[in-house]
Amino acid sequence: MAFLSLSLRPAVPLLCSLPPFLRISTASAVAFPSRKSTVAKTFTKFFCSSLVPANRISVLGDLPRVLAVAQLSTEVTQASFQQSRPTTMAHVVRDRVQLTDLEERIFNILTAVLEKFDLKTQLRVAGGWVRDKLLGKDSTDIDIALDDMLGREFCEKVNEYLASLGEETHSVGVIMSNPDQSKHLETANMRILGMSIDFVNLRAETYADNSRIPQMEFGTPEQDALRRDLTINSLFYNINTREVEDFTTRGIRDLKAGVISTPLPPESTFLDDPLRVCRAIRFGARFQFELDEELKKAAASEAVRNALNNKVSRERVGHEVELMLGGNKPEQAMEYIEDLNLFSTVFRIDANSKPDPSIPENYGRLCVDTLRAATKVLQKYKSSDQLNKAQRQICLLGALFLPLRSCTCSEKKKKIPVSTHIIMKSLVLKNKDAAGVEILFNFAKEFKLVSEKILQAESDDSADTKESIYREDPDLAAISKHRVELGLLLRKNKELWRCTLLLSSIMELPSVTSQAHSAMVALSVDNERWIEEKVKMCNLVEDTVNKLGLTKIWEEKLVLDGDAIKEALNLSPGKQVQEWKDKVLLWQLAHPKGTTEECLGWLHEENVKRLKV
């Protein structure tokens, strides 16, 4: 395989002529600058491996094209493998916080409480609200830190003040601390002018020599800032003085530089609350900030990994994953998780669940690359905005776990999909998330077959054939076949059909049970031509659904229900009635303008044929 270092200049058509199994990238996505490069080694290992079926590729027979793929430039290689990493750049950070009218009114009420009761309390908005305001973003997440009293005590003062004005008072909710699961703060919550606000006290935390459970004490602003998860979340906005306070001296600097780092040494910060690793990942992906090198080293350590696995409730981990998936860069968040060797910790598969077939240790890489493919298609799919938040989450979970689609595990003496195990046990998400992913997996292959038929018909040279697919003549076989097949799939998938369609477009990516190398999958995902083909298929199916009048077909009632069928054919309740209902559905899908009378006529004709047989 010494030819990997040769330099040839292929034409784009040459790459496009590669067989599908070899069409791993375009000229703008792959390069082997050296035989010593990771990609070159993977390529060599792959094509020299006995894992490659002899009937799929002959290295000698395909040598010219293999040589062509192998020669691409160093610069393009670096661009390809770095494109999934966020680019560190300076961010525009405002010099001061600009309050909305509502925020101004709320803060005026709070300062009026201080004046009425002659309180010396310093009120500081903490964390994310300050960060977002400085970045010019709106935020309704107001957390107020108090320096000399508990949150619930101050809330009681607020209600007392409101009552003195004859204004409506509000209930105060208190969330008690849970130190065993790293939830150390007691939080009070109340609504002011319709906005939900949390109140906590500034704190300092100390540890006994033999315990990781902190003792909480009132702290100074400096101590509180240093105990925050990230420097960009350690900023305060002092309501009393209306100024931003950066007690770590690094918050604004990191915000401008686009860096995720911790106020204190990252390992101790993560061991204090291991979920902070997930938060660092989430914010890094959300803002496209780079993770600090020391932070990455600590996050990937065995001590932090074990703490995240054992010390944090799975509900809290699942909530962070939901926030990552709901963010603007879910694929980047998963990339960080995989790069930090945390994939099997976050998406834990219990050892006693006995996955079948066995799952390789590096399955996370394949999952992340599959999600990357899905998000690329989703970004260009014309109807991606039709997915609501819940559907989008199911779609992304389905894409992430698509490589595990053929894997099951044991739970209570039953076989369940590994994806269901992870979603329900490891992330403790909703039943509908697990059930939704199962629907996607169950029907993705069918959707792919139907989509390919539609694509084939669309590309047919005969204009008459193309037109017949959409012509409103119920007697034409073309429209009947497409409408029936597509209609049945939509009725089975209901609101999730677009998610299933998207997953079906990337079904050719291998599962963990295949012998394909994950590096080759990554190269395929980075092939823009490959992505465009998937987008084209999704958009074509979307257009076909609309042209055939199948939008929300699952809500359409049968022209003949069970009672009408029983009466027409003089049947007793039972299995036979359901069989006829299924046939009526097929007729109805094939005859979108068919009337009840026409369906009854067809029903009697079919029954006569059946009786003759």
Residue that finishes a domain, picked among 516, 532, 555: 555
Q: How far apart are CA 303 and CA 300, in angstroms?
A: 9
User: Is residue 538 in some structural domain?
Assistant: yes
Whether residues 96 and 241 share a domain: the answer is: yes
Q: Are residues 420 and 539 in the same domain?
A: yes
Return the ∠ at Cα 307 (arms to 304 and 308), rounded to 5°. 85
User: 172 and 27 share a domain?
Assistant: no
269 in a domain, yes or no? no
Number of independent structural domains in the chain: 4
| Statement to judge: residues 502 and 567 lie in one domain | no
361 and 427 co-located in one domain: yes
Taking the C-alpha atoms of residue 479 and residue 590, their distance in angstroms, rounded to an integer, is 7
> Are residues 200 and 125 both part of a single domain?
yes
In the predicted model, is pLDDT for residue 215 greater than 90? no
Residue-range definition of the domain harbouring residue 583: 562-612
Average pLDDT value over all residues in the chain: 83
Q: Tell me, what's the pLDDT at 295? A: 99
- pLDDT at position 184 is 55
Hey, how many other C-beta atoms are within 10 angstroms of the C-beta on 98? 9
Q: What is the pLDDT of residue 23?
A: 40
Domain for residue 497, yes or no?
yes
DSSP letter for 94, please. -
Q: Which residues contact 12 (CB under 8 A, 6 or more apart)?
A: 26, 27
Distance separating alpha carbons of residues 315 and 298, to the nearest angstrom: 23
Nearest-CA neighbor of 494 among 452, 448, 568, 432?
A: 432
Cα separation, 548 vs 381, in Å, equals: 19
Q: Is residue 272 part of a domain?
A: no
Question: Do 361 and 500 have their domain in common?
Answer: yes
466-501 tens-digit pLDDT: 444 444 444 445 557 889 999 999 999 999 999 999
The pLDDT of residue 458: 81
For strands 259-260 and 290-291, give the pairing: parallel
Instruction: Map residue 493 onto helix, strand or coil.
Output: helix
User: Is the residue at 37 inside a domain?
Assistant: yes
pLDDT for 64 equals 38
361 falls within a domain: yes
Q: How many CB atoms lie within 10 A of CB 180?
A: 10
- In this structure, the strands spanning 187-192 and 173-175 are antiparallel
- C-alpha 608 chain-centroid distance: 53
Over pLDDT 70: what percentage of the chain? 78
Q: Are residues 105 and 7 in the same domain?
A: no
569 and 543 in a single domain? The answer is: no
Taking CA atoms, 494 is separated from 446, 470, 488, 550, in Å, by: 15, 22, 10, 11
- Between the alpha carbon of residue 94 and those of residues 6, 283, 529, the distances in Å are 52, 19, 41
Residue 322, both tokens: 């939901």
- Judge contact between 479 and 473, C-beta under 8 A: yes
Contact by Cβ (8 Å): 545, 574: no
pLDDT band for position 63 (50/70/90)?
very low
Strand partners, 410: 415
- Do the domain assignments include residue 320? no
The residue type of 415 is K
Looking at 199, 223, 252, the residue that finishes a domain is: 252
- List, in sequence order, every residue forming a beta bridge with 291; answer none if it has no partner: 260
- Classified as helix, coil or strand, 472 is coil
Please write the tens of the pLDDT for every residue from 279-295. 999 999 999 999 999 99
| Sheet of 173-175, strand order | 173-175, 187-192, 195-201, 142-146, 123-126, 236-238, 243-245
Spatial CA neighbour of 276 closest among 127, 88, 428: 127
Is the predicted pLDDT of residue 317 greater than 50, yes or no? yes
% of the chain surpassing 90 pLDDT: 67
Average confidence (pLDDT) over 577-587: 95
Nearest to 197 by CA among 232, 151, 241: 151
Same domain for 149 and 20: no
> Which of 510, 526, 555 is the C-terminal boundary of a domain?
555
pLDDT over 70 (residue 93): yes
Mark whether 578 and 549 lie in a shared domain.
Answer: no
In 3-state terms, the chain is what percent helix, strand and coil (to 5)?
A: 55, 10, 35
Both 16 and 90 in one domain: the answer is no
* Cis amide leading into 265 (omega within 30): no
pLDDT tens across 33-51, in order? 444 444 444 444 444 443 3
Per the domain annotation, does 356 fall within a domain?
yes
Q: What is the DSSP letter of 99?
A: -
